[in-house]
Amino acid sequence: MSAPSISQAPEDTGREIAFAGRSNAGKSSTINSLTQQKSLARISKTPGRTQLLNFFQLTETNRFVDLPGFGYAKVPLAVKKDWHKMMENYLLQRKSLSGIVLVMDIRHPLTEFDWQMIHWCQHSQVPLHILLNKCDKMKYGASKNILMQVEKQLHDSASPVTTQLFSSLKKTGIQELQNTLDIWLALNQKEPD
């Protein structure tokens, strides 16, 4: 189900894992790899195609949510502002949000948007797992070095997040990500305020 606003989203029950990241970071490919379905989440070579809150039902009570990409998508500023407001409303209001997977292109980690999401999760105490995606674009040693640099920056910021290397194309890191999500989905749902 796709929703242009939080008011049109599915009922706020159960548990949701949201996938966030810059345009073209690989959120949709990640969801497709996890679910072992090639075209569940729409993939495009043009950044910014995900413009709605896209909900994917996993079980009767669990969902993935593909959030609109943020960053360099070639769309009007007014559209970007609408996306930002939609994401802000989702993140602040959604009681079933159980964790966020922040997908980053390993070649461009920890952008300003990424830090905003990290700080928001830290402040809101929402679990955050960072995927350094597209690690297949580099040699393994270079990927590991970037992972260690990112972990050091996150450690220095005192942000409670987990990180890993990932590649939708090569299926690298799928089991590690699945283990994290299984834990999140098994946790008790947050109580409403």
Q: What is the pLDDT of residues 62-75, one digit of tens each?
A: 999 998 877 655 66
> Beta-carbon neighbour count of residue 152 at 10 Å?
10
Is 163 in a helix, a strand, or coil?
strand
For 178, the enclosing helix (H) or strand (E) is helix 174-186
Q: Which pLDDT score, from 0 to 100, does residue 165 have? A: 98
pLDDT at 47: 46
Segment 114-149, tens digit of pLDDT: 998 998 888 888 999 999 999 999 999 999 999 999
**β partners of residue 102:** 20, 130
pTM of the entire predicted model: 0.87
Q: Provide the token pair at 100.
A: 């966020």
Angle subtended at Cα 118 by Cα 113 and Cα 123, rounded to the nearest 5 degrees: 125
Asked whether the beta carbons of 127 and 181 are under 8 A apart, the reply is: no
Instruction: Name the token pair of 109.
Output: 């980690």
Q: Are 96 and 189 in contact (CB under 8 A)?
A: yes
Give me the domains of the chain, ranges plus CATH numbers. Answer: 2-186 (3.40.50.300)
Question: pLDDT > 70: what percent of the chain?
Answer: 82
- 45 pLDDT higher than 70: no
